[in-house]
Amino acid sequence: DAGVIQSPRHEVTEMGQEVTLRCKPISGHDYLFWYRQTMMRGLELLIYFNNNVPIDDSGMPEDRFSAKMPNASFSTLKIQPSEPRDSAVYFCASSLEGEQYFGPGTRLTVT
Amino acid sequence: AQSVAQPEDQVNVAEGNPLTVKCTYSVSGNPYLFWYVQYPNRGLQFLLKYITGDNLVKGSYGFEAEFNKSQTSFHLKKPSALVSDSALYFCAVRDRNSGAGSYQLTFGKGTKLSVIP
């Protein structure tokens, strides 16, 4: 298996623009997680899905952030409008049970 | 509620010496415990887990961790450190008795391990 796939790997955008991050989980995994990592706040769970259904979105910082999982093999995290404080590395992870497997991350820079 | 503490932001060890990265946890029930490693500009990589059974768990790259229920600890260890072990290490916990669908891991803040040649 190729592991968790994320795209793009790097994204540079201007404040106010819409940003869409994409994730393909490991085939057969029924949990999908979105995390954000910064030096200041460390690793934060934003939202997670079970069988494509959002279970807990309490970590989503504000209404500018939204996530969808239209099917078992694809999820998106959207930021609209983006702000400089959204600059971070965003990770997607998937799990069947127990341990989570992380993607390589998307490094987002908002100028 | 569940929580994890990694009391050391950084650990320095000489190559060839044993290393320990500390982790303590808090859960209301029984824990599932995990260690992850993150190399620069990479995602977190699973190292090992404790689910039940033997308190000493062996994982990837020669790492092991010891579950100590009385001390609520799950320290990561390796008998002989390599320079290539230098990375950021995360401990994580999940309450085994959490309800169906409550599947999130709580991660510590991470410990930066530097192995000095």
| Chain mean position to CA B24 | 9
All residues of chain A having their beta carbon less than 8 Å from the beta carbon of residue B43 are: 4, 91, 93, 102-105
All residues of chain A having their beta carbon less than 8 Å from the beta carbon of residue B90 are: 43
| Chain mean position to CA A91 | 5
Token representation of residue B72: 């609520």
**Strand, helix or coil at A84?**
helix
So what's the pLDDT on residue B53? 86
All residues of chain A having their beta carbon less than 8 Å from the beta carbon of residue B51 are: 98
Which of B105, B106, B109 to probe by mutation at the A interface, max A CB count within 10 Å? B105
Q: Do B103 and A4 touch (CB under 8 A)?
A: no
**Strand, helix or coil at A86?**
helix
* Residue B28, φ and ψ in degrees, nearest 5: -80, -30
Q: Does A1 touch chain B (CB under 8 A)?
A: no
DSSP 8-state secondary structure symbol assigned to residue A25: P
Q: Which stretches of chain A score pLDDT less than 50?
A: none
Q: Does A103 touch chain B (CB under 8 A)?
A: yes
Residue A58, by phi and psi: left (phi above 0), alpha (psi -120 to 50) or beta? alpha
Give per-residue pLDDT as tens, B1-43: 889 999 999 999 999 999 999 999 999 888 999 999 999 989 9
Q: Does B58 touch chain A (CB under 8 A)?
A: no
Give per-residue pLDDT as tens, B52-109: 888 999 999 999 999 999 999 999 999 999 999 999 999 999 887 766 555 788 999 9
Q: Does A48 touch chain B (CB under 8 A)?
A: yes
Token representation of residue A84: 């400089």
Taking the CA of residue A58 and the nearest CA in chain B, the distance in Å comes to 12
Report which of B27, B20, B21 is spatially closest to residue B4, judged by C-alpha positions: B27
